[in-house]
Structure 1
Amino acid sequence: MAQREAWVQAEGGYAHIQGTKPQTLSYGLNDSPAGLAAWIVEKYRTWSDCNGDVESRFSKDVLLTTVMIYWVTQTINSSTRLYYETQRHPWDLKQGERVETPTGVAAFPAEISRPPREWAERSFNLQRWTEMPSGGHFAALEEPQRLVEDIRAFFRPLRG
């Protein structure tokens, strides 16, 4: 909990503004390709397992493609709006409630937030927990092979 609180204090400003003023932020980001690029690339740098060197994990082509998808489609608003909606309609398990759907967790060390395994086991029908050696929030781009292998391993015993 202390680690999570320290992260919120140091890095949680984006969630606060997206959760309270997503429209204002979105208009500014849609109006400025440089601002949009700065916003997105900063997230890739901070949320990935790159030790501060974003290009060690993502090429300029990948970063620019991501920015261009948001820029051309003008869809940064839908990504920020999710935070606003989540703050107004939180999804919380009540005391004693549990999700019975088979669940798997690929625990990447640089993920921005992950529950302790004991919490996941208590709240979900945890069938698989994999401690990954590297990767962060953008695991599908950072560690695609490891992620695919883990997803396949999770579903293998669930097949009929």
Structure 2
Amino acid sequence: MTLYSPDVVLMDINMPKVDGIEGLKRIKSKFPQIKVLIQTAFDDSDKVFKAISNGASGYILKSDNPTRILQAIEEVYEGGASMNPAIARKVMEYFVPKKTQEILTPKEQEVLKFLSEGLSYKMVADKLGVSYSTINTHTKHIYEKLHISSLGEAIYWYYRNSQP
């Protein structure tokens, strides 16, 4: 990188030895001024958000036509954030508040409802006829899906999103 000093790097995610996300991290840590445009065949949300959260300046697909790819490179070079329209839609949908029913399974909703009512894990387990460990597993899944780390946050999220 120091030999050529690029302004923009066009990088695939699926590469041998070091994947594109790791490559992106390395570039951004050593050369934060370099803009990295991800070009890949993958449009799944996990890869998109990993790339964006690690400093990608844009995300386009290999299926984009050559004119669109050149346009994306120019946009990123000029300081913009270029995205394939389907990717941009995924990003926008991520920020739209979702109702509990769309995120959590019915069992997770039930567990969260009981926890929100003040029941302990043991009480919820007894009420549902399952083990404490099962309730603990459901709670871990709830935390992961809601991107939270405490019961207080889960209860806050429940009341904010579940009430009509």
Q: Same fold (TM over 0.5)?
A: no
TM-score, with normalisation over the residues of structure 1? 0.27
Bigger share in helix: 1
Rg comparison, structure with higher value: 2
Q: Under a length normalisation based on structure 2, what TM-score does the superposition of the two structures give? A: 0.27
Greater relative contact order (CA < 8 Å, ≥ 6 in sequence) = 1
